[in-house]
Structure formats: structure tokens, C-alpha cells
Structure 1
Amino acid sequence: MRHKPRWALGWSLLPLLSACGGGGLLATVGPDYQAEPLPAVAGWHEPQPGPVVQSAHGGAAGDLIRWWEGFNDPTLTRLLDAAERQSASLAEAKARIEQARANLAGADAALLPNLDASLAGKRSSASFGGEPFVWNQYNAGLQSSWEIDLFGGLARQQQAALGQLAAKSAAWQDARVTVAAETANAYLAYRYCLSQVQILQADRASRSESAQLIAIAGESGLRPAGNVALARAGAAEARSNVLQQQAQCERGVKGLAALTALDETELRGLLGANAEQAAKLPEPPAFRIDAIPAGVLLQRPDIAAAERDVAEASANIGVQRAKQFPKLSLSGNITPTLQNINGAALMLAQTWAIGPTLSLPLFDAGKRAADVAVAEQQYLAAASRFRDKARTAVKEVEEALVRLNSAGLRLPEGRAAVDSYRANYRSLEALNQNGLSSLLDVETARRNLLSAELALKTLEQERVSAWIALYRAVGGGWTANAEAAAQSDVNASPDSLPIQQISFNGGKS
């Protein structure tokens, strides 16, 4: 019976030992991570928005993914797509995901043996006082080494890499939400600007017409020169206001061009495709936050990223502690060599070696202990950042609800003010035409009406902006289910993002 070489028997044990990759062979040092509860209150302090015609958010983040479609604005959809494709922050976030994937691949590889092969040929000549001889050598080598994870340092390293990858993936989702909100706000500002231009143009036309009529009356001696000058001043002021506002809108176009990287000619064509709609503020689909604060926070990718940072920091404590314990490595090689001298027949020489190496940390002047202390402080800092982000998230939701409720309460008052100022202006204008009121009273009423109309438009813009802020505050449609995210946006999502590994259920990392 032919026996296997002892080195072959040693290598046959590798699959058995590698099965211990879930933890250390002898022990797994370091804390087992437990996700702490989200520091959120039991309910929202601010009341929910008013009656909702069509609910776009039933407490689940996936329902908000298609929220932008509810605007029914193809221009906005096109701008959002262009901004996401050109965003530098998204590109950087995706690069960090790839780096995290590489780190995870390295951590996985550290748990398994590495294997290298080599081929070499050598021709040499030697002489020992006599005729020289030629020596030819041809060898093929196979070398392998493997660190046995005795105390779980490599397993903790793998856990840290998993946490890092999940955090970077969630950060990419957060960057997407941020880019969408920034683009929508820029587009809203542009349309708000155009609506102001419309109001100012109507005011300019009214003042110009009044100035012409008063000038004719002045030439006939029916109006004093002071009234004629006042009317001309009002018309000039109205023209100046329009030009100033138009310049503001031009700046908005430049900002959108920079944000989306669209050619300005193409962008202007896109923005002017429906001039009547462009001057109207978009109407966002309303939604309610039916979930408790802790449930809403689960929808925020920045909170998920912060929690995974805590898990990574916890695993790093185990990585550093494992360095304080012995380390066992197993290495081996096989090197068959063909050789001959002076052209004789080739002869085969085979060598092999296998053996363990045990490293014992004896004295390092406290460096390893200091590294553990640093890792523990980094964990505490990461946990503090997580809690801070959770508190900030609650604050942002509450602030958005305050803005929504305030705008909702003020809008009816603003509309009533516009109606009253318009009635007052028309009454004074009619009296002035009959010589029963002064032009100064008419111009004062006109200014009051203009201010009320602009204030009402500002309130409407604030309401839309508050909806966008609430969308951003509740997570912006991010979902912890990578498969659902891929189905909703196949082109934008990096392949196989491990978002599904993010958990707040208090289980082990």
C-alpha cells in the first residue's frame, strides 16, 4: 500500500481548518456587536400635513422612490436624471464602494490559504580546476502559506470590511437623495423666478398704460405736472424691476447648467418647452408619515451608514486585540526540478517542505495595548456620531413639518390679502379716473397689491420647498432592499450593493 507524503496529509486538513472562518479556531476576541436602539421619541410633535388626496408614502420608503414622478413634469425628470449622471459626489461615493469591495475581497482572502506558482530555467558553467561542465536546471515551484485564525482577528477583519462596504453603499444612496433634492430646489427656484417675472410684467404693463393716459391728460391740462412725473417714475421703476428679475432667472439657468452638465442651448430648449407651465410652480404629491420616528429613521441612508460605521468600529476592536495573542501560520512548498550536466539525460529531483510557525508577542512597549485603546475610542466616537445623526434626522423631519404647517396656515390668509388689495386698487383706480382720488393713492394701492402678490407666490414656493425638505428628511425613497432598489432604478444602482446587510434589529453584525 502506497502512503501519501506527510505534506499531502497536512494540506488535506486545510478544508477542515478553513471551516472555522466564522470565528477564531480557539476563541474570538473583541466585543460581539449589538446594534443599539435608535434614539428616537415615540411620536412626532408636529401635526401631519392636512388631508391627502393621493398618498405617496404609507410609512414605507419604497413608496417614495417614485415620488418625483408625481410632479408630472418631464422637464424635472430629465434634469434629475442628468444631474445624477454628472454628479461628482455620486462618482466619488461609487469609487468608495469599489474600494470597500476590494477591502472585503482582501479580508475574505486572508481567511484562506494563498497559493503561488513559479517557473524557472537556468544554464550555468562551472570548473573545479579541470574541464568546465555545463549545468542545465528547469524547475516548477508551488508555494502556499496560511495564517490559522486562532483568536478571530481575521474574522473580525472580515466583519469590519462588511460593515464598511454596507456603509459606503448606503452613503451612495444618500448622495443620490441629496443630488435629487438639490436639483429639484434649483428647478423650483427657476420656476419661482419666472412666476415673479410674470407678476412684475403685468405690473409694468399696467403702470405703462396708466403713465400714457396721465401724460395725455397732462398735455390737455387735466392733470398736474407732478402727477405726470409720478406716473412716469412708476413706469420706469416697473421696467427696472422686470429687468432685475429676468437677470435673476438667467442666473438660475446658469446654475442648472452647471448642476446637470447639459448644454445651455439644450437646457434652454428644455426649460422653454412649455412656457406657460414653466411660470407655474410645480405641485408635489402629498404624503403622510404614518410610521413612528424610529421607523422613519430606518429609511434614511445616512443613518444606516452611520450604524454600519459603528459595527465596523466594533469589529476593529477585535482586530487589534487579536494582535496581542499568538499567531499560527502554516507554509509549504513543492519544487520538482529537471537537470542535466553536459547534455546528459535529464534527471528529476523533487523537494518539498511543510511546517507551522508560531509567533508569540512578548514585548512591544505597550504598542498593541495602545492600539486597542484607540480602537475602543473610535468605537465610542462612531456610536456618538450615530446618535447625533439620529437626533439631527428627527429635527429635520420636525422642521420640515413646521414649514409645511406654517405655509398651509398662511396661504389662505395670503390669498385673502391679495383679493382685498386688488379690490382696493381697482376701487381707487376707478375713482381716480373720475377725478375723485389722487394718483398717489392709486400708486400706493398698486404697490400694496404687487407686494401681496409677490408674498403669496413666495408662500407657494415655500410650501413646495417644504415638501422637498420633508422628502429628504424621511430618507428620500431609499430602501434597504437592494433588489427593490435595482428594480426601481436599474441603471443607477451599482451592481450587487449589499444594502440588505444593514440591520437595526439588535442582532450580531
Structure 2
Amino acid sequence: MSPMPASAARAAAAPAAWVAPLPAPVAAAEAPAAVPAWWGRFDDPALAALVEQTLAANPGLQQAQARIQQARALAQQAGSARSPDLQLNGLAQTQRLALAEGVPRQRLAQLNLEAGWEIDLFSRVRLGAEAAGARLQVSAFDAQAMRLALAAELARQFIALRACERQTQIAAEDAQAAIRLAAWSADKQAVGLESAAASTLLRAAAAEGQSRQLAQQAECEVQIKALVALSDRPEPALRALLAAGHARLPVLSGGGLSVHALPAQTLAQRPDLAAGEAQLRAAWAERGAAEAGRYPQLRLGGSITLAALQLAGGPRAEGSGWSFGPSLTLPLFDGGARRAEAQAAQARFDEAQAGYRGLVLQAVREVEEALVRLDAAGARSQHAQASAAGYTAAAQASQESWRAGLSGAPELEQLRRQALAAQAALVALQAERLSAWIALYKAAGGGWQADAAAID
């Protein structure tokens, strides 16, 4: 049977080069001696601890390990069909025939050794074993893909929580500042230096700031609940773990990820694509096994029998026998069942091939999108920092001018709102850039390598 063209789907679907700009590679001097898992490159130890603990106890991963054990057992069962079948049967019985009165009892003892072996003329047995082995690889690669997806989702949720905490800090600082401004405005109004409308405006701004702070705090509580569900960790223990880095977005050390310029090298790191390729190999082998099932099957068999028979009160008779010879099965007419099975197996292979091509196209899209978002976030970062610093300085200057009576409350409140929005946008952009790195790690396989997948 001809070998499967394993590279056909990938070569047809993968582009020759990435279109989006690649991140700068890590310099040799910056690369650590022992590269940690990608989540260990963030400088917040709580993230690494949370991911490691989650991967060790996640119920979904435990189910994936159970599926690997099932696939391993099926692979062993399929592989045993290529070995000779040897069975030992023993029989010992006492009986009396119900024919007439006085018929004596008889005792029979028999030992039978049988052996059989199918000569794999058309590779039906071999291909069945190869298909089962490929299914085992699919289970192992699926478990690796689940680990990668779980770690990426946990890291993304972790970044979202840290950004939410920082946003809450900003909202709290703004609310306190608004309360102070409202108090100063009330004092100015009491001595006739502030209008009632301006004082009312600043009191309304203070109330809005407190409402915004409470809403942001509630959002952070929701983020914590999501982390509890993802990590399967008690909430008090999770809060204790998160306390040290409260409201601080982690920093990615080591310069981030160096993406291969050739898409094929990057895609080879993805466990889901490795699973898809193994699925394709399994479908190809099952197709061949179904086709081979339409042809004759030759089997060698033999047996050795030892027996002893004794009638009550009579002598003991012993004997032995043996047999050996081939048996040939010729499928003549089955109503088209074998042909239909071969056609169904071919259709399953076509389905697996199309599914694999779809996986490759989706993987290329995910990498390209992550590269675009990462590049855009990096390009916007300098502008967002300048915007936040400028609006904050303008708001502070307007506050001093208002206290001196040189500007009005509406102008002050407008600048305060702009400064708050700019600071919130800067935090959101920082979180977006970290999330883009996480998406790129996931899209590029997270450093996973096909030869590192443990299926033993």
C-alpha cells in the first residue's frame, strides 16, 4: 500500500512567509540559561504558581489522561493481533448418561493446546495496529493542546484581573479627588466665590466617581470568581496568593517570544496540529485496513490434545491427538458490505484531510492576528503614555487655576474626565499588549514540541 502523503495538506495550506510584522527576536545575551515555561517569563510569581497548580489538578486534564490510558489499551489490543494466538483449554467432568438403569458413570479429562496465526497477506492487521497507535498519539496531543489552552486562558484572566485592580485604584484616587474638590467648592460657595451650579456640578462628579469605583470593584470580584472556577482553587487561598502583586500588571521578561520566520516551523510547535496530523494518519491506515478486508485472509492453526476416559469400575483409556494446517477465507458475496465499509473509510479519510487543512488555516490566522495585535499595541504604547501624562498634567494645572479663581468648574471637570479616561486607556492598552503576547504564545504552540509529547 502506498504511504500517506502526510505533507500534502500542510504544504497546500501554509503560506511561504508571515505577512504581519514579527516581534524582535530575543538577543542571545538576554536569553536565560534554562528557559522556563512561557507563563514563568512573567515577573509575577503568583501567575506561575497558579498555572502550575491548575495544570496539576484540573478535572479536564485528568479526563484527558484517562482517554490516553484507554487509547493505549486499544493500541496494545490491536498490536496483539500481529502475534500468534496461543490458548490452553482444560476439561474435567463426571457424567452418567440417562439411557437406562445401571449405566455406569464416566469420567473425562482433557487438555487442549491451540495456536493460530493470521498471515497478514494484505497488511490488514498491520494497518489496524498503526491506526490504533495513531489514535494513541491523537489522545496525547489533545491533552497537550488542552494544557496549552487552559494555561493561556488562566493567564489571560489573570492579566484581566490585574488590570481591573489597577483600574479600581485609579477610580478610587479619582473619587477621593472629586470628594475633595466638592468640599473645596462648598467652602468657596459659602464665601461667595463659587456659584451654586458649579458647586452642584462638582458634588455630582464626586457621587459619579464613587459609583464608578464601586462598579469597578464589582467587576474585579467577578474576575476573581472566574479565576476560582478556572483554577479549582478555594477562594480564600486564591486571594492570599494574589495579594502580593495587587494592582500591578506583570512584566514579560526576556524580550518575549521569537517567532520562526517560516510558518511551517512555527506551526510544527502546535499540539493541535500534531493531533490533526495523527488523526489523518489513523484515517489513512483505517482506509487501508478496510480495503484489505475485501481480500482473502490466510490463517495457520494447530492444536495438541491429551485426553483420558474412565468408566466406573473399568480401565482408564488415554490418548492424544494433534492437528495443523492453513485455512483460507475467500469473501465471495456479502451484499456489498465490505465494499461499503471501504468507501466509508475513504470518506472518513477525506473528512480528516479537509479537517486538517482547516486546522492549518485557522492556526495561520491565529498567529497573524496575534502578530498584528501585538505590533499595534506596541506602536500605540508611546502615544498612550504621552496622552495620559499630558491630560493628567493639564487636569492638575486646571485644578490649581480653579482654586485660585482663574477658571471655572466645568472646565476643571472636563479635564479631570479626560485625564481619567487617558489613564484607564493606558492600563487597558498595557493589558491588551500582555494578552497579545499570551495569544501569540498559544498560537505558536507555547514552546511545545512534537517530540516532547509524552505518550508512554
TM-score by length of 1: 0.84
Q: 1:263/1:405 Cα in 2 relative to 1: closer, same or farther (>3 Å)?
A: same
Q: In the alignment, what sits opposite 2:250?
A: 282
The residue number in structure 2 matching 1:242 is 213
Q: Please tell me the residue identity of whatever aligns with 1:146.
A: W
- Is 1:467 the counterpart of 2:441 in the alignment? no
Picking from 70, 76, 79, the partner of 2:47 is 76
Instruction: Please tell me whether the aligned partners of residues 111 and 147 of structure 1 are also in contact (alpha carbons under 8 angstroms).
Output: yes
> Is it true that 1:217 corresponds to 2:191 in the alignment?
no
The equivalent residue for 2:369 is 399
Residue 184 to residue 92, structure 1, CA distance change in 2 (3 Å): same
Task: For 1:305 and 1:316, locate their aligned partners in 2 and report how far apart those are by CA, in whole Å.
Answer: 16
AA matched with 1:360: L
**TM alignment of 1:288-303, pairs within 5 A:** 288-303=258-273
The superposition leaves residues 21-61 of structure 1 with CA deviations (integer Å, 9 ceiling, x where unpaired) of xxxxxxxxx43223124232222111122475678889xxx
Name the structure 2 match of 1:152: 123
Q: Which letter does structure 1 place at the counterpart of 2:411?
A: D
CA distance in 1, matches of 2:444, 2:281: 23
Aligned to 2:416: 446
Task: Tell me: CA distance 1:436–1:51, structure 2 relative to 1, closer, same or farther (3 Å).
Answer: farther
Please list the CA deviations of residues 57-105 of structure 1 after superposition, one character each: whole Å capped at 9, or x if unmatched: 89xxx98762222213221122112322333332332232222212211
**SS of equivalent residue, structure 2 residue 370:** helix
Q: 2:230: which partner in 1? A: 259
- 1:434 aligned onto 2:404: yes
How many aligned residue pairs are there?
451
**Alignment CA distance shift 1:390-1:55 (3 Å):** farther
Q: Once superposed, what is the RMSD of the aligned Cα atoms?
A: 2.2
- Is 2:303 the counterpart of 1:317? no
Contact (CA 8 Å) 1:31, 1:318: kept in 2 or not?
A: no
Q: 1:345 to 1:397 in 2, by over 3 A?
A: same
**Paired residues of 1:164 and 1:309 also in contact (CA < 8 A):** yes
Residues 208, 365 of structure 1: alpha-carbon distance in 2 compared, 3 angstrom cutoff: same
Contact 1:42-1:292 at 8 Å conserved across structures: yes
Bigger shift: residues 450-459 or 229-238: 229-238
1:412 aligns to 2:412 (yes or no) = no
Give CA-to-partner distance per residue, 1:274-326, whole Å, 9 cap, x none: 1xx22111112312213411111111111111111111111112111111111
2:326 match: secondary structure: strand
Partner Cα separation in structure 2 for residue 202 and residue 441 of structure 1: 20
CA contact (8 A) 1:65 1:477 kept: no
Q: Which moved more, 1:86-95 or 1:388-397?
A: 86-95
Hey, what's the Cα distance between the residues in 2 that align with 1:127 and 1:449? Answer: 106
In the alignment, what sits opposite 1:4? none
The code of the aligned residue for 1:219 comes to: A
- Match of 2:159? 188
| 1:117 maps to amino acid | L
- In structure 1, C-alpha distance between the alignment counterparts of 2:61 and 2:5, rounded to whole Å: 30
Judged with a 3 Å threshold, the aligned counterparts in structure 2 of structure 1 residues 324 and 181 are, in CA distance, closer, same or farther, namely: same
Aligned to 1:48: 22
Call closer, same or farther: CA 1:51–1:325 in 2, change over 3 Å. Answer: closer
Query: Counterparts in 2 of 1:13-52, with a 5 A limit?
Result: 30-37=1-8, 38-39=10-11, 40-50=14-24, 52=26
C-alpha distance in 1, partners of 2:252/2:321? Answer: 76
**8 Å Cα contact 2:181-2:202 kept in structure 1:** yes
Shift of 1:123: 1.2
Is the CA contact 2:25–2:257 (under 8 Å) kept in the aligned structure 1? no
Q: Tell me, which stretches of 5 or more residues in structure 2 are unaligned?
A: none
Residues 1:205 and 2:179 aligned together: no
Map of 1:372 onto structure 2: 342
One-letter code aligned to 1:258: A
1:359 maps to 2:333: no
For residues 92 and 215 of structure 1, what CA distance do their matches in structure 2 show? Answer: 64
SS in structure 2 opposite 1:223? Answer: coil
Q: CA, structure 1 residues 63+390, in 2 after alignment: closer, same or farther (shift >3 Å)?
A: farther
- Identity among equivalent pairs (%): 36
User: SS in structure 2 opposite 1:427?
Assistant: helix
Classify 1:408/1:130 alpha carbon distance in 2 versus 1 (closer, same or farther; 3 Å).
closer
Contact 1:64 1:477 in 2 (8 A): no
Aligned counterparts of 1:351 and 1:460: Cα–Cα separation in 2: 84
User: In the alignment, does 2:397 pair up with 1:424?
Assistant: no
Match of 1:140 among 88, 111, 114: 111
Tell me what 1:96 maps to.
67
How far is 1:137 from its partner?
2.0
| Aligned residues of 1:192 and 1:461 also touching (Cα < 8 A) | yes
Letter in 2 for 1:147: E
- The answer to whether the 8 Å contact 2:44/2:251 transfers is no
Pick closer, same or farther for the CA change 1:304–1:129 going to 2, 3 Å: closer
185-194 or 214-223, which deviates more = 214-223
SS in structure 1 of the partner of residue 289 of structure 2: helix
- In structure 1, the partner of 2:81 is 110
Give the conservation status (yes or no) of the 8 Å contact 1:82–1:261. no
Equivalent-residue separation in structure 2 for 1:437 and 1:281 (angstroms): 37
Answer yes or no: is the 8 Å Cα contact 2:39–2:155 preserved in 1. no
Contact 1:210-1:231 within 8 A present in 2 as well: yes
Name 1:17's counterpart in structure 2.
none
Contact kept, 8 Å, 2:189 with 2:196, in 1: the verdict is: yes
SS at match of 1:365: coil
Show CA shifts across 1:198-245 (max 9, x none): 110110111111111112222233322222211111111111111101
| Partner SS state of residue 478, structure 1 | coil
- Cα offset, 1:114, TM superposition: 1.6
Are 2:319 and 1:349 equivalent residues in the alignment? yes
1:56·1:67 contact (CA, 8 Å) conserved in 2?
no
In 2, Cα distance between equivalents of 1:291 and 1:451: 38
Q: Which ranges in structure 1 are unaligned for 5 or more consecutive residues?
A: 1-29, 486-492, 497-509
Residue type of the partner of 1:227? A
Partner secondary structure for residue 235 of structure 1: helix
